Each structure stands twice: as structure tokens, then as C-alpha cells.
């Protein structure tokens, strides 16, 4: 028995000694820590973190900074929102095609982020790099700026106001909707009440300014065509002069202003095809094709949105806003 125990002890000691020698040898062969070795280690960790955040922001969620007042008071300039990136399908790369999106379409009243259809691209490499850097830093770093160092709006945040088959028109600032499958227009406020939709969209321009606003648009077109004042209808001048003071204290509805210009242009020159086309489009409303959405800002009087650039393809809608997360005292859910 003693021989057996001695054998076990000797084997254990030999194993422990061999293990210790192996560890000492490995440590002796290990390269000493250097400054550049430490830098490389930190860079490896940073690269992993950036790639991890890119994956999260591209396929799962993204933080978005509100750049303009178009969604006031739902969102204010500088607030940060949480965007669900896969609710309408998985976007393969920033601005690229989406997977599993066939039956995942925006619903009416969703607050969405979409790619600006009027964005002046600087090339696919820059666009993807700028978007990747923006996402990887949680919107803290944006290299996509203009000559004045102001961020260029590659992404918009708007509300899905019109869906495929709808017709939407604007009369003196009021939105009228003819929903798909119906025959008549309904004022948007009544439409929202009847369908239990958000009451956030609102106007700040008073109806009383529209006579002066439309007279201003008509007079501007006369001026652009260098028509002498003696040939301008006196009623336009009178209407403008008697109400001009109202314009100075109110935001300007440029959509109505432009429509007044186009009406005047078609009267002065019936052969002006562009003005006639724009006038007709405004008169009959904006038709929303299937698989498209008409995005509008909640601040209807100060928003560059679908009334100017038209409906957008659902393929260009990259997410839905779920929460306002900053500042903390304004945290809210939009579910």
C-alpha cells in the first residue's frame, strides 16, 4: 500500500513540476509589452466596438437627432429619438435594398425616418462612410456638412399621412384627404378624430392671411415677368396692401404662395406647361401610388415634406420612431 501511495505522490509532483516549467517557459517566450503593442490592443478593441455598434445601428436600432422644427411640438430641434430599424425590413447597407419587407409596410400615422429624395449625393463611398460614422458614434459625429458646416439632411423624420391609393390636397393650408376606396374628401382634423389618430399635426398660420398671401404670390409673378404696374389688376394691389401687415407676423405658407404664382403664370401665359402642370397637381391633389407613402411634418406650416417632393417609395423608409429619449424630462413613447 505504501508503494502505491508513493507512486501516486511521485506522479503528482512530476505533473505539477512539468506544468510549472511549461508556464514559466511560455512566459519567458512571451514578447514584452510595448507602447505600440498597447496601442494595437486598444485599436483592436475600438474596432470591435465600432463594428458592433454599426451592426446594432444598421439592423436593430438607431439614434436620430431632430435637425429642424418640422415636427414641433412632437419633437423639438436637438432632441434625440430611438428608431426601430427592422420594422419595415432589414436594410442591407445604408440606403441599400431591404430584406423581408414585402408585407412590412408603414401604417398611417407612423412617425418614420426616410432618406431625403432631394439629397445631393457625393458618391456611394462617401454616403456609406458618413452614415456609418454617424451610426457608430450614436449620432455624435457627422461629416456630411455643407459649406457653412451645417449638417446636410440625408434623413428626414416625418409622419406617414397618406398611404397607397389616397389623394391628399392642400387648400389655404388645410389638408384634405380622400382615402383609398372612398369618393369624397375629408378635412384632416375630422379624419383624425374619426379614425382615432394622433392630434399632434397642427397649423400656426391663420386663415385670415391667405387673401394677402395669394395676392403676394400673384404680384410676385407679375414682377418676375417684368409686367408694368399699370397692367396689374388693382384688386391684387388693394388686397395685398390692406392685409400686408398680417404677413409680417406669421410664418409663410410657401406651398400656397407658389400655387398663387402658378395660377397667375397660366393666366399670363397659357402655354407655360410647367406652371399649368403644377397648378393642376395642386388643384386635384397628390395621388399616392401603391407601395408609397406621403410624409408630412407635424408642424404643417414650417415643414419641407411630401407636398413639395411628392410621395416616397416605401423602400426609402428605413425605420419607425418608437421613443423620444432625450432630454430625459421629455422622454415619451410613440407606440
Q: Could you give phi then psi for residue 114, rounded to 5 degrees?
A: -145, 155
Residue 101, pLDDT score? 73
Residue 238 has pLDDT above 80, yes or no: yes
Nine cell digits for residue 328: 430625459
Residue 61 has pLDDT above 70, yes or no: yes
Residue 31 has pLDDT above 60, yes or no: no
Residue 126, pLDDT score? 82
If you average pLDDT over every residue of the chain, what do you get?
85
Residues serving a catalytic function are: 70, 158
SS (H, E, C) the chain: CHHHHHHHHHHHHHHHHHHHHHHHHHHHHCCCCCHHHHHHHHHHHHHHHHHHHHHHHHHCEEEEECCCHHHCCCCCCCCEEEEECCCCCEECCCCCCEECCCCCCCCCCCEEEEECCCCCCCCHHHHHHHHHHHHHCCCCCCCCECCCCCECCCEEEEEEEEECCCEEEEECCEEEEECCCCCCCEEHHHHHHHCCCCCCCECCCCHHHHHHHHHHHHHHHHHHCCCCHHHCCHHHHHHHHHHHHHHCCCCCCHHHHHHHHHHHHHHHCCCCHHHHHHHHHHHHCEECCCCEEEEECCECCCCCCHHHHCCEEHHHEEEEEEEEEECHHHCEECC
What is the per-residue pLDDT across 89-123, written as a single tens digit (0 to 9) for each?
Answer: 888 777 777 777 777 899 999 999 999 998 888 88
Mean pLDDT of 52-74: 80
Task: Determine if the peptide bond prior to 327 is cis (ω within 30°).
Answer: yes
- At a CB cut-off of 8 Å and minimum separation 6, what does 52 contact? none
Give the pLDDT band (50/70/90) at residue 283.
very high
Whole-number Å distance between alpha carbons of 179 and 93: 34
Whole-number Å distance between alpha carbons of 257 and 307: 13
Distances (CA, A) of 126 to 13, 58, 120: 64, 17, 12
Burial of 84 (0-12, 13-18, 19+ CB in 10 A): middle
% of the chain surpassing 90 pLDDT? 46
Residue 260 has pLDDT above 90, yes or no: yes
Residue 54, pLDDT score? 67
Nearest alpha carbon to residue 71 among 295, 285, 332: 295
Q: Do the Cβ atoms of 112 and 320 come closer than 8 Å?
A: yes
Whole-number Å distance between alpha carbons of 124 and 214: 42
Give the pLDDT band (50/70/90) at residue 131.
confident
Residue 156, pLDDT score? 93
Residue 123: count other Cβ atoms within 10 Å of its Cβ: 8
Residue 166, pLDDT score? 97
What is the per-residue pLDDT across 176-226, written as a single tens digit (0 to 9) for each?
Answer: 999 999 989 999 999 999 999 999 999 888 888 899 999 999 999 999 999
CATH architecture of 52-200+288-333: Ribbon (2.10)
Q: What is the pTM of this model?
A: 0.79
What is the per-residue pLDDT across 307-329, written as a single tens digit (0 to 9) for each?
Answer: 999 999 999 998 999 999 988 89
Whole-number Å distance between alpha carbons of 85 and 59: 6
Amino acid at each position: 500500500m505504501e508503494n502505491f501511495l508513493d507512486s501516486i505522490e511521485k506522479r503528482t509532483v512530476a505533473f505539477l513540476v512539468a506544468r510549472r516549467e511549461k508556464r514559466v517557459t511560455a512566459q519567458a517566450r512571451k514578447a514584452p509589452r510595448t507602447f505600440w503593442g498597447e496601442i494595437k490592443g486598444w485599436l483592436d478593441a475600438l474596432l470591435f466596438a465600432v463594428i458592433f455598434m454599426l451592426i446594432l445601428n444598421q439592423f436593430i436600432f438607431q439614434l436620430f437627432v431632430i435637425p429642424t422644427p418640422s415636427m414641433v411640438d412632437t419633437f423639438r430641434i436637438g432632441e434625440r429619438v430611438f428608431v426601430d430599424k427592422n420594422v419595415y425590413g432589414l436594410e442591407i447597407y445604408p440606403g441599400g435594398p431591404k430584406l423581408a419587407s414585402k408585407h412590412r409596410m408603414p401604417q398611417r400615422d407612423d412617425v418614420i425616418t426616410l432618406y431625403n429624395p432631394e439629397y445631393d449625393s457625393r458618391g456611394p463611398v462617401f454616403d456609406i462612410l458618413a452614415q456609418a460614422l454617424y451610426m457608430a458614434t450614436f449620432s455624435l459625429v457627422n461629416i456630411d456638412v455643407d459649406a457653412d458646416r451645417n449638417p446636410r439632411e440625408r434623413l428626414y423624420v416625418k409622419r406617414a399621412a397618406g398611404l397607397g391609393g389616397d389623394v391628399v390636397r392642400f387648400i389655404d393650408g388645410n389638408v384634405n384627404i380622400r382615402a383609398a376606396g372612398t369618393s369624397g374628401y375629408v378635412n384632416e382634423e375630422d379624419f383624425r378624430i374619426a379614425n382615432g389618430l394622433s392630434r399632434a399635426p397642427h397649423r400656426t398660420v391663420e386663415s385670415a392671411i391667405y387673401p394677402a398671401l395669394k395676392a403676394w404670390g400673384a404680384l410676385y409673378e407679375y414682377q418676375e415677368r417684368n409686367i408694368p404696374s399699370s397692367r396689374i389688376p388693382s384688386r391684387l394691389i388693394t388686397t395685398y396692401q390692406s392685409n400686408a401687415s398680417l404677413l409680417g407676423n406669421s410664418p409663410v405658407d410657401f406651398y400656397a404662395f407658389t400655387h398663387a404664382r402658378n395660377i397667375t403664370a397660366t393666366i399670363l401665359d397659357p402655354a407655360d406647361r410647367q406652371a399649368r402642370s403644377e397648378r393642376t397637381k395642386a388643384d386635384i391633389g397628390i395621388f399616392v401610388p401603391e407601395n408609397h407613402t406621403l410624409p408630412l411634418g407635424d408642424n404643417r406650416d414650417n415643414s419641407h415634406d411630401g407636398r413639395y417632393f411628392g410621395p416616397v417609395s416605401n423602400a426609402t423608409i428605413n425605420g419607425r420612431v418608437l421613443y423620444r429619449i432625450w432630454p430625459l424630462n421629455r422622454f415619451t413613447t410613440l407606440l
